[in-house]
Chain A
Amino acid sequence: MSRVSVPCHVKGTVALQVGDVRTSQGRPGVLVIDVTFPSVAPFELQEIMFKNYYTAFLTIRVRQHTSTHTPAKWVTCLRDYCLMPDPHSEEGAQEYVSLFKHQMLCDMGKVLELRLILRQPSPLWLSFTVEELQIYQQGPKSPSMTFPKWLSHPVPCEQPAPLLEVSPHPG
């Protein structure tokens, strides 16, 4: 089925760290990326695609539009999805990844905002993020074509009448 890219605004990554970012020695192991859709109405999410850059685990939270007047709440739709089987080695570190709506824990019917929580527990890497983030919603269904009947139901060819066995004349 076709898909249509949804223009999104990716806010800068925010590192979550205990203490002062500037003075402490260690590097943050958790980053948060907010993705908003300023010019688009709440839509049904089909696919999230990105290129990994040394992120080990990915959690996604979504805020959906509600019909009632209650304020929209954040719901976790993907928990600790593993991108790198061994966070200390290069496997999966720079792979292209697609996540589909059937992999999500909740219904993605009316998405307002997404929050990507990236985790990289290994201290070996200098930085980690996800790149080339793209969000897709379901495209318009291709117009159903009605094939002419003779194309979809070919008439079985007529069997030729069985020929009488003629044996070659001897000699």
Chain B
Amino acid sequence: MLQEESDLALIIAQIVQKLKGSTLYAQLERQAWASLQRPEIKLESLKEDIKEFFKISGWEKKLQNAVYSELNVFPLPSHPAAPPEHLKEPLVYMRKAQGSWEKRILKSLNSMCTELSIPLARKRPVGEQKELLNKWNEMGTDEPDLSLFRPVYAPKDFLEVLINLRNPNYENGDSHSFRTHLGLIQVPLKVKDIPELKEFFVELGLTAGQLGIDDSTQVPPELFENEHVRIGQKVLSEQDSAAAQQYIRQGSPTALRAELWALILNTSSQPEDILYYEQLKTNVIQHDLLVDSLIYKDVKLTASNDDYYFVFEDYLYQVLLCFSRDTSVLGHFAYNSASPPKSYIRGKLGLEEYAVFYPPNGVIPFHGFSMYVAPLCFLYHEPSKLYQIFREMYVRFFFRLHSISSHPSGIVSLCLLFETLLQTYLPQLFYHLREIGAQPLRISFKWMVRAFSGYLATDQLLLLWDRILGYNSLEILAVLAAAVFAFRAVNLMEVTSLAAAEAVLADLSTLKVMPLLQIFLFATVT
């Protein structure tokens, strides 16, 4: 009991310290000072009266939302003796693997830089700045020569790294024994099995209503949909983050989705935030980075070719170019196993005072990165709002999909969860695919790395991302991947090669996400 109390005190102290530096703290202070003018605030009971005032005026709710957001995003304070690397990633061999992967990416970037003799960053001449400012809303019409650029890495390169991940203390015999895993991932991380998943995703059960199932045309809206929308409106009027997160587990009505996501991610629309975005825009105009060309190339290769997202091409540039320059993103590296690439001012190699992070936000985009932003364009039309939501989604969820870590929502755990679910509940299918040389992970990896963006129809994708926000976990991606295989199992049993298996699973755009998940989790006879 003593230990729990001191743990709680430590968590409270950590959150208070984090919030002290935020704008919310300054706002609360100002409100408290202003409230002294009010007649109901008496000097004898100053503390209680101000607390009461905060409760009535809704400021306490804002504080609650901020605390809830901190609890969700930041890991619990660890042991005082643990060094900061331990907080990023507790397992030493994974830290090493992430470090060598980062070295490879940097080498690739640097070699592209020297090959094309383009500087990593340069200041734009004034004429070019003016031109870019005029063209800001239609950067898609620009057709720079990007033929020499190539993406720094693609998801399949990353998959190879994960396949070769080994724990040096683990019995990795050459001969197959009970120790070697049948799938591609060979590290023994703890993943949930179906009974645990059933408990975790209890709101997706057969007895609870779901948007994505119970709002179809055959079901009368009085049964579930009307009531659900009414509750959603109430949650929004109360402005309660925790309630919104619980509510969205059953799906979000399309009309309320934009506001609900903003509430759950605790983003605000203060003038300061719009000003911050404008500042980032100015940075884009003044300086040109090499990663900008990588972003252009990625958007042109992926989002512009997609039937649903090509209309948002200009928005994507506006968000991603600003994202590369946002140094506040560096904060998430405290709990990300990755580290931002460091480079040194010319001639000052090794001197810490001359070290800069490149790109300024520490994130090097890979092939398909722009697909994280594309679905959000359906919800938010104002660039600064769209930018904030994307940034929050990235530092909460998406970064885990391309860094090597032992976190339960990290891509390694998701891959292992997918393979374990498939082996346990569809052993014949798994065995057959393995025999024909079509390891299932080779097909589903690209779905999970992109969080299914670009593979599912947009409305289905947004229903899936509702659940990611609601459960604050990416495990649902692995469950959906296994459910897709279960759905197409009959066709897959008849294929005889990897290419044929890929063809069976090439088009997911007709799939309905929620029925698949419900059947796989709650209605499959084991």
Contact = CB atoms under 8 A, between A and B. Distances in A.
Interface in A70-109: 85-86, 88-91, 93-98, 100, 102-103
A125 B169 contact: yes
Given A88-B188, A90-B406, A95 B169 contact: no
B441 interface: no
B167 interface: yes
Given A54-B169, A95-B79, A100-B3, A90 B189 contact: yes
Nearest to B94: A90
Nearest to A91: B190
Interface string B163-192: 000011111000000010000000111100
B188 A126 contact: no
Nearest to B6: A100
B196 to A, nearest CB: 12
B82 A124 contact: no
Given A88-B188, A89-B188, A126 B169 contact: yes
A88 B191 CA distance: 12
Chain B interface mostly helix, strand, loop or mixed? loop
A94 B90 contact: yes
Interface in B384-440: 406
Nearest to B171: A124
A124 B188 contact: yes
Contact of A124 (B43, B78, B170): B170
Contacts of A86: 190
B171 A125 contact: yes
A94 B79 contact: no
A31 to B, nearest CB: 14
Nearest to A53: B169
Contacts of A100: 2-3
Contact of A90 (B2, B81, B171, B190): B190
A89 B189 contact: yes
Contacts of A157: 43
Contact of B81 (A53, A96, A126): A96
A102 to B, nearest CB: 6
Contact of B78 (A91, A96, A102): A96
Nearest to B187: A90
A100 B169 CA distance: 29
Please name the 10 residue pairs, one residue from A and one from B, whose CB atoms are nearest each other, closest first.
Answer: A96-B79, A89-B190, A91-B190, A96-B82, A89-B188, A126-B169, A96-B81, A94-B90, A90-B189, A124-B171
27 contacts: A54-B169, A88-B188, A89-B189, A89-B190, A90-B167, A90-B188, A90-B190, A90-B406, A91-B189, A94-B92, A95-B79, A95-B90, A96-B78, A96-B79, A96-B86, A98-B81, A103-B3, A123-B171, A123-B179, A124-B171, A125-B169, A126-B168, A126-B170, A127-B169, A128-B169, A132-B81, A157-B43
Interface of B: 2-3, 43, 78-79, 81-82, 86, 90-92, 167-171, 179, 187-190, 406
